Structure 1
Amino acid sequence: MLEELDAPLAPLTTLRLGGPARRLVTAHTDDEVVAAVRAADTAGEPLLVLGGGSNLVIGDAGFPGTVLRIATTGFALDGTVLELAAGEVWADAVARAVGAGLAGIEFLAGIPGSAGATPVQNVGAYGQEVAQTITEVVAYDRRADEVVTLSNAECAFSYRHSRFKADPERYVVLRVRFGLEDAAGLSTPVRYAEVAKHFGVVQDERVDLRAAHGAVLGLRAGKGMVLDPADHDTWSAGSFFTNPVLGPEQYAAFLALAAERELTAPAYPAPDGHTKTSAAWLIDRAGFGRGYGSGPATLSTKHTLALTNRGAATTEDLLALAREIRDGVRTAFGVELVNEPVMVGVSL
């Protein structure tokens, strides 16, 4: 276990923003993770768990406690069961699973971050989310002071949400287990229209597994969503806002405002009679196009959902842009955008 004081955090995030940690501990085993968490809890010290740093917005003042960087490794296949240590690089793990001929996470290719973060956010893209394949999550329960194994149902997954996100101070993910599928070299059924169009198939058809993985990498790269240190469009936290899920009354009010502008908004059925619409569509139609902004933080030139650091931004620069966009969408369409990345020491 490695310990550093007054350690820079910006280089450990994909936004490359944020002040230093009072103390940075890097853990390479599950036992080290648990020991570090116990020590911080016993001392009553604030704790921030850091994986790949792809879903964090850290304040310019930094973090006044212990930052635990999880650097555990472990990729184990038993038939179609995949177990990943929390510190495994997610994009690499997806590529290895596809290389082994297993389907179930191929449309989640190229997403930055660590495996341990995927159940927290119920990571999803291109019609797939980890809730569809996660069977168990092994975590340290800080409240009970013990390692527990939670089933898929106990994780309480929903759109970009989970039990871990709902109670962020309780669990630290150690390992994630997936039930994948050997579909004779084919992908899981294509659920996303853009992918179906790419392959010239209808939705729910299967395509070549490796081709599906490669296609998603290409689509993500075209939107600046695959990390490239030389490309400031990738200096982001990915999609900054979640797609709004509206109740019947909210949705009716939104449709009326859209109709006043003679606009037809995207709509997707959601549970409990709700309707999901597109945050990217809202941002663009509210007047914030690709590349919007003249300061050191702007929208990506490739995708309106990504707020980017052009190289010299501060966290406050980024948040000022985020607030401008959130307020503009609310004024135009009466819809409140919610940030997807976790805020540390700051808020919108």
Structure 2
Amino acid sequence: MQELHDAPLAPLTTFRLGGPATRLVTATTDAEVVEAVRAADESGTPLLVIGGGSNLVIGDRGFEGTALRIATTGFHLDGTRLELAAGENWSDAVARSVEAGLAGIECLAGIPGSAGATPIQNVGAYGQEVCDTITEVVAYDRTTGETVTLTAAECAFRYRNSTFKDQPDRYVVLRVRFALEDAGGLSAPIKYPETARALGVEAGDRVPAARARETVLRLRAGKGMVLDPADHDTWSAGSFFHNPILSDEAYAAFLARVRDRLGAGTAPPAYPAGEGRTKTSAAWLIDKAGFTKGYGTGPARISTKHTLALTNRGQATTEDLLALAREVVAGVHAAFGVTLVNEPVTVGVSI
């Protein structure tokens, strides 16, 4: 287990932002993870768990406490059952599962970060979510001091949420288990319209899983959503805001605001989100509120490729990023009466 003091955290995040941690511990085994967490808890030291750093906004003043970087590795395949260590690179794991001829996570290719973060956020993209295939999550329970195995039902998955997000200080994910599908090298049925169009197929069709993965990677790269150190559009956390889910009453009020602002014939994106609820597009809201691709004049700007990504152009501070985020939130609310909620976890700051 490696330990550093007054350690910079910016290099551990995809934003490349944030001040130092009082102490940085890097754990490469489950036992080391548990040891580090227990030590922090027993001493009353604040703890920040870092995986791939792709969903973190850390304040410029850093973190006063122990930052624990989970660097465990492990890709174990037994038939169609896959177990990943929390520190395993997610995108690499997707590639390996496709190479093994398995389907179920191929459309989640290119998402930055580690496997252990995927159940926390119930990561999803292009018609797939990890809750579709996760069977169990092995985690250290800081409340009981025991390592526990949670079933998918106990994880309480829903849109970009889970029991791990509900209780952020309770569980530290150690391993994630998936049930994939052997479809003879074909993908799971294609659900997302953009993916189907790019593949030239109808929704519900299957294609070679490798082709589905490659197509998703191409779509993501076109939006600056595949990490590239030379491309500042990828110095981001990907989608910065959740797609809002509105009650029927709130959606009716939103629709009236849209038509007042943009014309009676305007139809915003709308997707069923359970009984009495409708999901709309945060990217659409941001764009129609006047925050177009590349918006901003300072070192933090909206991506030139996708309005949903806020980016560090190379010299930004966290405060620069937060100022932009607050401007977007206020502008969207003023235009449409909808309050955007950030996806990334904030550390020592708020929006």
After TM superposition, the score normalised by the length of structure 2 is 0.99
Query: What are the equivalent positions in structure 2 for 1:120-159 lying under 5 Å apart?
Result: 120-159=120-159
- Aligned mate of 2:311, from 308, 311, 314: 308
Aligned to 1:278: 281
1:296 to 2:336 alignment: no
The one-character-per-residue Cα deviations of 1:224-244 (angstroms, maximum 9, x if unpaired) are 000000000000011000000
Q: Equivalent residue of 1:343, what SS?
A: strand
Inter-partner Cα distance in structure 2 for 1:45 and 1:170? 15
Inter-partner Cα distance in structure 2 for 1:9 and 1:253? 42
Q: Equivalent residue of 1:243, what SS?
A: coil
Aligned to 2:12: 12
Letter in 2 for 1:302: K
Aligned to 1:80: 80
Query: What are the equivalent positions in structure 2 for 1:1-348 lying under 5 Å apart?
Result: 1-260=1-260, 261-262=262-263, 263-348=266-351
Tell me how many residue pairs correspond in the alignment: 348
The one-character-per-residue Cα deviations of 1:209-258 (angstroms, maximum 9, x if unpaired) are 10000000000000000000000000001100000000011100000011
Letter in 1 for 2:270: A
Please report how far the alpha carbon of residue 306 of structure 1 lies from its aligned counterpart in structure 2 after TM superposition: 0.4
Please report how far the alpha carbon of residue 158 of structure 1 lies from its aligned counterpart in structure 2 after TM superposition: 0.2
Letter in 2 for 1:57: V
The one-character-per-residue Cα deviations of 1:56-110 (angstroms, maximum 9, x if unpaired) are 0000000000000000000000000000000000000000000100000000000
Letter in 2 for 1:191: K
After TM superposition, the score normalised by the length of structure 1 is 1.00
Please report how far the alpha carbon of residue 272 of structure 1 lies from its aligned counterpart in structure 2 after TM superposition: 2.7
Q: Equivalent residue of 1:140, what SS?
A: strand
Inter-partner Cα distance in structure 1 for 2:276 and 2:94? 33
Inter-partner Cα distance in structure 2 for 1:110 and 1:226? 6
Letter in 1 for 2:75: F
Q: Equivalent residue of 2:207, what SS?
A: coil
Question: What runs of 5+ residues in structure 1 fail to find an aligned partner?
Answer: none
Sequence identity percentage: 74
CA RMSD of aligned residues (A): 0.5
The one-character-per-residue Cα deviations of 1:138-163 (angstroms, maximum 9, x if unpaired) are 00000010000000000000000000
Question: What runs of 5+ residues in structure 2 fail to find an aligned partner?
Answer: none
Inter-partner Cα distance in structure 2 for 1:182 and 1:199? 21
Letter in 2 for 1:299: I
Letter in 2 for 1:216: V
Inter-partner Cα distance in structure 1 for 2:254 and 2:58? 32
The one-character-per-residue Cα deviations of 1:253-283 (angstroms, maximum 9, x if unpaired) are 0000111121210000001310000000000
Please report how far the alpha carbon of residue 202 of structure 1 lies from its aligned counterpart in structure 2 after TM superposition: 1.3
Letter in 1 for 2:17: L
